[in-house]
Chains A and B, each alone.
Chain A
């Protein structure tokens, strides 16, 4: 069936779930932590605390809060996304 696979193969980019994509995702995550010298688990604590602070001022849409630790060149950026429903003040 290999010839059939090849015949139907369409030129594509990276496929999620392949070893290459998994390696790249793991690498990104690992290097972000390495570069910041961030111990495992600390980021999760920070995220909880940040959410708690925002939640004192706003009602938050449940299950929508998202944190992203991104690399821009060799610098890291923490991007937080809160969906606000209304002010609590």
Chain B
């Protein structure tokens, strides 16, 4: 088997990289693919919490690289989904504990075991990021519609462009979109961000309080049926598998009496 290694990155911290990694991982696993989530945020381990697997971590990525255990021993299998595994980051080390060569080798090995290897990159553009992308052939760039996040995403895209030979494609996930604020012209919308970054869109995830609830429960929203953010992540997973999935209609821009009358006679799918 030769799986796909996809790095999930953003530049800026706090835009939802880890949340996206967990949710896309769960959604991909739900489509039947075998998935390994790799937490590359060494020293600031969080992916295990989002997955609800924090109590089951025994070994970590650094243990594997430094050959204190076998790769299979470090993988934490999700009991809810046997085809989903997590390779946790070390919490007591820092980003210098792994280098790009070691990461490449690790990704090669994981690729032979899983359909998808999702690498959750740390924030920043330094060694941690460079290591995270070392073994990847594809990238998902996460941003929110805020100026600072978009600027950092642009920097990341520039760095990915420079590695074109290795990273053959990258696409954008616009996270935490607030349709109402966009409709009121209070913040940039999907079109604005795409135009500014000139990048292909993989998905749009609306701001959703359910994300916080699901994090507290340790059950990513994409595993449950009834949330908009969960649906958005499931759509992203389907697009990653090559399916053509129309983008969710998050537009409330045209809420006027004219459109209400039109919609009354011609109800649209949300």
Task: Tell me whether A23 and B147 are in contact (CB under 8 A).
Answer: yes
Q: Mark B120-163, 1 if CB is under 8 A from A, else 0.
A: 00000000000000000000000000010011001101100100
- Residues on the B chain within 8 Å of A6, using CB: 256-257
- A interface majority secondary structure: helix
Task: Tell me whether B192 and A9 are in contact (CB under 8 A).
Answer: no
Task: Tell me whether A34 and B186 are in contact (CB under 8 A).
Answer: no
- Check A40 for interface membership: any CB of B closer than 8 A: no
- Residues on the A chain within 8 Å of B187, using CB: 19-20, 23
Between A and B, how many residue pairs show CB distances below 8 Å?
Answer: 58
The smallest C-beta distance from A28 to any residue of chain B, in angstroms, reads 6
Q: How many residues on chain A are close to B (CB under 8 Å)?
A: 23
Task: Tell me whether B189 and A34 are in contact (CB under 8 A).
Answer: no
- Check B185 for interface membership: any CB of A closer than 8 A: yes
The smallest C-beta distance from B53 to any residue of chain A, in angstroms, reads 38
Query: In the assembly, what is the distance between CA of A30 and CA of B154, in Å?
Result: 11
- Check A80 for interface membership: any CB of B closer than 8 A: no
Task: Tell me whether A18 and B186 are in contact (CB under 8 A).
Answer: yes
Query: In the assembly, what is the distance between CA of A30 and CA of B151, in Å?
Result: 8
Quick one: closest A residue to B154, CB to CB?
Answer: A31
Q: Mark B151-182, 1 if CB is under 8 A from A, else 0.
A: 10011011001000000000000000000001
Query: In the assembly, what is the distance between CA of A31 and CA of B150, in Å?
Result: 9
Task: Tell me whether A71 and B189 are in contact (CB under 8 A).
Answer: no
Quick one: closest A residue to B146, CB to CB?
Answer: A23
Task: Tell me whether B185 and A21 are in contact (CB under 8 A).
Answer: yes
Query: In the assembly, what is the distance between CA of A9 and CA of B252, in Å?
Result: 13
Q: How many residues on chain B are close to A (CB under 8 Å)?
A: 25
- Check B112 for interface membership: any CB of A closer than 8 A: no
Query: In the assembly, what is the distance between CA of A19 and CA of B259, in Å?
Result: 24
- Check B258 for interface membership: any CB of A closer than 8 A: yes
Q: A24-B196, A27-B151 are in contact. Are A14 and B185 (CB under 8 A)?
A: yes
- Residues on the A chain within 8 Å of B254, using CB: 11
Residues of chain B at the chain A interface (Cβ within 8 Å):
147, 150-151, 154-155, 157-158, 161, 182, 184-189, 192, 195-196, 198, 253-254, 256-259
Instruction: Give 24 pairs: A residue, B residue, CB < 8 Å, sorted on A.
Output: A6-B257, A9-B256, A10-B256, A11-B254, A11-B256, A14-B185, A18-B184, A19-B186, A20-B182, A20-B185, A23-B147, A23-B192, A24-B188, A24-B192, A24-B195, A26-B147, A27-B147, A27-B150, A27-B188, A27-B196, A30-B151, A34-B151, A74-B157, A74-B161
11 further interface pairs, Cβ-Cβ under 8 Å (given A18-B185, A27-B196): A6-B257, A9-B257, A11-B256, A18-B184, A20-B185, A23-B147, A23-B187, A24-B196, A27-B151, A31-B154, A31-B196
